[in-house]
Chain A
Amino acid sequence: MLYQLEGSQAVARAVALCRPNVVCAYPITPQTHIVEGLGELVHSKQLENCAYMNVESEMGAISAVIGSEAAGVRSYTATSSQGLLYMIEAVYNASGLDLPIVMTLGNRAIGSPINIWNDHADAMAARDAGWLMVFAESNQEAVDLHIQAFKIAEAVKCPIMVCVDGFILTHAYEQVDIPSQEEVDKFLPPYKPEVYLNEKNPVSIGAMVSPTEFMEVRYLEHKKQIKALDIIANIGEEFAKQFGRNSGGLIRQYNVDDADVVIVAMGSVLGTIKDTIDELNAEGNEKFGVLSIVTYRPFPAEAIAKVLQNKKKVIVVEKAFALGRGGILFQEIELALKGTNVKVTSVIAGIGGRNITMSLLKESFKKDDDVTFLGLNHEIIREEEQRLAECNN
């Protein structure tokens, strides 16, 4: 059924439809409305058989869901930015313990300087933590990806992070189709864990592993992630078949077949990029297409290469970068296209909530620069560098 909803409320309702048994809440902007929404659903008994825990920190939040998942029940939490970094030790721990936790990451910049607005620095900080990671383009996709996320995580036996752009999606009101409980129940069966804390088979979970086996354990985790590519793709197809929306899977293409130049991006900026290339294509010089990365971990390098290997140029637009190195997604795309003649360039955009406008994008797509910091105010940079030089003299 269609509702006019704030993104966070839509996510809260989607999560509730997945019947979690434990929800942990700790406030951090911009994910807070999601756990507030779930709290209301639990306390009004619209979501039953669910423990709602107000915890003392993000470390407490992730730790409590580690405990509840290890005890064999479906568990959910959400965080953003500094909160993700505060829990990062346990983020790695959760994946090492094979616990299918679902966590929303309301993407936000990381300080210092402190900044509450959207970019992808938080997600990138956790990209090697062994979690599956998917990025939502719209609020509808955020709803759909959360419903798929529980199924994916439980099938792969691995935690999953659903990345939803802070404010741009979490606080935006859009029309979204919220499926009925019957529909979600049909798609997502009750969780049946294989290994969990119980007295009949008293397992020890979380043993120390020595150098003689540690590498094998980590290698198998890596292999599990690679295998997850098929599982995520299949569950995406299954979802599309039942709900009529192609909102999961690994990657999505927009005008890619005819394109000379393909823009690659993740998350909510894809809408702006699609509008931009529509205008560019109408102008009629080069042909532009868009490749959306839906699943970032595991990285669908093969699927990406297959689509992009014969293109003239690929422009990677991303909302994060590694200081001292540059674009992160850019490097991964470049590596995926190793051995081809595709030129890959990098556009760093929207850092700390900076507006990404169509005119700026259009300008950067027409140029051939290796790296563009979109909308960077060169006047400020010049003045500051001059001031520092004077201070040092």
Chain B
Amino acid sequence: MTVAENKKTIGNIPEHPKSLLLRMDRMPHIWCSRCGIGIVVGCLAAALEKAGLSPDDITITSGIGCTGRVAGYVKVDSFHTTHGRAIPFAVGLALSRPDLKHVVFSGDGDLVSIGGNHFIHAARRNQNLLVICVNNFTYAMTGGQLAPTTPVTARATTAPYGSFENPFCLPNLAISAGADYVARWTSLHIRRMTDTFEEALNREGFRFIEIIAPCSTIYARRNKLGTGLDLMKYYYENSEIKHDATAEELEIGFQTKIVVGKFVDKERPSYARAMNRHLGKILGKKYIPPEVGGPQ
């Protein structure tokens, strides 16, 4: 929607330009002050606008957690699934409606902890999904328990003396599981994040984008890192863009340098395409490919 079409007003000024894609009637949202999730939602809305997609062309699926609430704030077909099952739900959507774009928008605890198995197998089978993972290094909504992404020596509610577990490095996990498109940005890299979303929306296969976001109330407070604004300044000073980074460089320690960029960009046939090609070759005319679009 262009500005001229935006007839709604709030007070005596025009409503926010993204009000076609975001449910402004539900604002203010539940996320804390200085949380980074809202930035990622705004950048996804901007990317949809830039890619020229209408709200009918896209679905958004979320799991449980702070980031899981995204499904309730977007004005597209969206679903708030059970804990960790955002990817299986979206796989069903992607197989039955291959004409739409399917986005999974969830947090690190949802996607790679309880939903870790779904994540690696969706990447292995190259399901046609865009997975956006907002990584804030903790289980924020349940009170700050130790997450599989919490860096070593960072404190959590269930690790009062600091974590001693080796965390997951999400881009490495996605690369080794075979994802087609892997990128990482922080919530400060708004322009590059928007461009990456726009590029990934027009691609096929399993696309994974990790966004490092500040958690002001839980992660920063428990670790005495100041507020979310201080974490944003830390991203500003300590993130380095490196598109051909090695696996060791991608690891994130506690308040160490963050290597960001687009790490993998390759083409493989997606699951449905590979199935149609293989079965068509083996069965010949006996094979009837599934109808695109489903019942109208």
Chains A and B belong together in one complex = no
Binding site for A on B (CB under 8 A): none
